Structure 1
Amino acid sequence: MLKKTSVLLVCAGLFCQPVLASRLVENALVEQASQELTSAKALLLRTVNINSGTMNFAGVKDVGNIMRKEYDALGFQTQWVDGSEFNRAGHLVATYESPTHPTGQKLLLIGHLDTVFSKEDDFQQSKEIDETHIAGPGISDMKGGNVIMLAAIKALKAKGMLDRLNIKVVLTGDEESSGRPLSISKKALVDAAKWADVALGFEDADGDIRTAVTARRGASTWQVTTSGKAAHSSQIFTDKVGDGAIFEMARILQEFRLQLADLPLLSFNPGVVAGGTRVMQSKGGDEVTAFGKTNVVAQHASVKGGLRAASQEQLAEAQKIMNDVVKQHLALTDATFTFDEGYPPMKETKGNKALLAQYSQVSVDLGYGPITAVNPRNAGAADISFTAGHVKMAIDGLGLMGEGGHTKDEVADMRTFKQNIEKTAVLMYRLSNP
């Protein structure tokens, strides 16, 4: 419940009555949020106990159907966006258009239905560790966040405040492994961002309830292939044979390290590499095998890696550096460089900072303390990045906090469940005020 001291301090001014009325509404929302906890927890466990690994299309749809019924009951118009065109299950989009405030604030709430745990994984069920901790696949990343946003909306609905807002909820089915091409798989999310004024993401960010995300680095993949002249190893470095594909690859990777490592907030990583007489790759390039002999100069080499950049400008700078490095060849070698589309950066903006300040004030007024921005280096890529440039302001990390995400040790701190339902409900109410 809101601190009484904050009400009394504000009421010393000219606008006592309107502010007091708002505080009374917010107190009612906090009380309602508490009443939502039992059903919200039951819904959370129900969805956690359904495997919805990205490629388990049936499971993703099952979780989507459960959430769809919840939004249907609240008066939202719901749509399942079929994912067959981008080889994924699809997305749930739920829209609420205010009958009384059609030009009111437009909020985009972002979550995802899928997890990293496949149907064959042995981590399938939730387990209560103690009174405040529950283990489960995807409980914090991010089925907890899905339920938090729903519970906040239910609180607003129960207190007659939902009609002050226009809302789109987008629960994607491929956040953990995006379908391709991204222009199709992320179209529903981008379209919703173009419609919205504000975007709120319900990931668990860095797992610290005292933080939220105002900026995320983009995540892309790159690949380099090199070739050389096959010959007996006794002739390597000669004018007729040259340096071979593996030395060319070593030169490129070393130059990448030297020229990219010190760019602020940028990171790159060669994840899989192979070289020899023959190199065989899987279709996606994530599995590579090679054949070669110690007495034969390597004819082929391949490396695939990832790159994270803080802005589109930094991404373009890194691509140029990498291209320039690849173009400089050792003797009798060649190399090619390709860069795949990926998650765009979510650049920190004045609007994002202002929204964080508002969210932090909500947290302070509720007695939970201030909230600061996560270091972008500690926040991975997420769907909210696709809203960058389309909304006036955005923050992420409003979800259920925990530890061990993407592992069999994923555990949610349920103390943050109640807090973030309350904070979300009050924040949405404040965003609805002119």
Structure 2
Amino acid sequence: MPIGEFGRPPELPTEASPALTTNMYWMYEMGQASLNPARALADMTKLVFENPLNPFATTEFGKSVAAGCELFERTTRRYGKPEWRLHETEVNGVRVPVEVKTIWEKPFCRLLHFDRKLSQPLREPQPRVLIVAPMSGHYATLLRGTVEAFLPGHDVYITDWSDARMVPVAQGRFDLDDYIEYVIEMMHVLGGNVHVIAVCQPAVPVLAAVSIMEAEKDPYFPTSMTLMGGPIDTRRNPTAVNNLAEEKGIDWFRNNVISKVPFPHPGFMRDVYPGFLQLTGFVSMNLDRHVDAHKRLFSNLVKGDGDLVDKHVEFYDEYLAVMDLTAEFYLQTVDLVFVKHALPKGEMMHRGKPVDPSKIERVALMTVEGEKDDISGLGQTEATHGLCSAIPDSRRVHYVQKDVGHYGVFNGSRFKSEIVPRISDFMHSAALSKPSLVAAE
């Protein structure tokens, strides 16, 4: 199931029967429904044992019962789409409110703008940044820390991909080609003079989109392109999850992990790669770590350590919230990126036209990798530089962040203190040396 940025699949039969593949989503929904009474009972029991009028509320026994009930409810519930919770930021030492606005929308994506309500105009304009979030199971809010880090010094936009089970079948398909066209259309909406950042999985479609724009001499080309921990060439330093795709082959994924959205979701009967399978893949990669984390949650609930409980809840409310992917997007991505390696081989096509990164001349390029990345191996993103042979050396940068894994490439303390300043400096330099369309021609 999940590959590369998509994670690692849980154990499944070598070949599942068509009936099992078709009905697994429906069985999951039935299982969720059957647990509703138990969750309601757990909530009620928790309230009883936390009630200060209950003599057991302050005892070890009472606290353990309440903690066990909360743990049961949290581990069996379905988590909804998280909120952004980015209400303010600091610009030039002044706290300013932030409003999240939708400025463009299609069935499978919204373009969000984090509008900083500045009390007075800035002396110098700050870089406009389009962050292309991964469409690999988690919601775009997984990049909350990424957005928060860029907000003080940048005008930030981000792609907010839709949960496929919420999109009616009547809205049509959505595959990798559509993804590329969405990216191009969003850059047109922003009207040029923008820096695009692809976080992980979208490195391939963003590189393809910019290649197409350059080949067509599109006037709305981005000023710079930053690719972070992306699977540009998974033949380099392949990870265990990269190798899985070649071992299984695309037919295995088609036959084993694609299911139809059940009633009553708006996407009823749409073929999808379900989010609950995606989550199983994520969790199985570090099962011991997640089990230990929930053991600590139980202990902290009993002890009443609110700070540690809040940290656990904040992380897992985000981590356990997953979305469905359209079957055609998932399968096309696995096939072209992880099985056929179409882009680095020069074989990738978009609507019958070749995708050629060597056409990129006007866009500055930066690649960022994590030294300990176990999802996109070291060198997979750096391969972009060899493909973009027409970009002058003075307008390209490669940076490896020491001692971070995959998620440290776009989140955490080292990201804020070491990676963001480098990307920001790169953007300013790229803007100063940006060639014009006339000069490029």
Q: Over alpha carbons, which structure has the higher Rg? A: 1
When normalised by structure 1's length, the TM-score is: 0.33
- Kindly indicate which of the two structures has a greater share of residues assigned to strand: 1
When normalised by structure 2's length, the TM-score is: 0.33
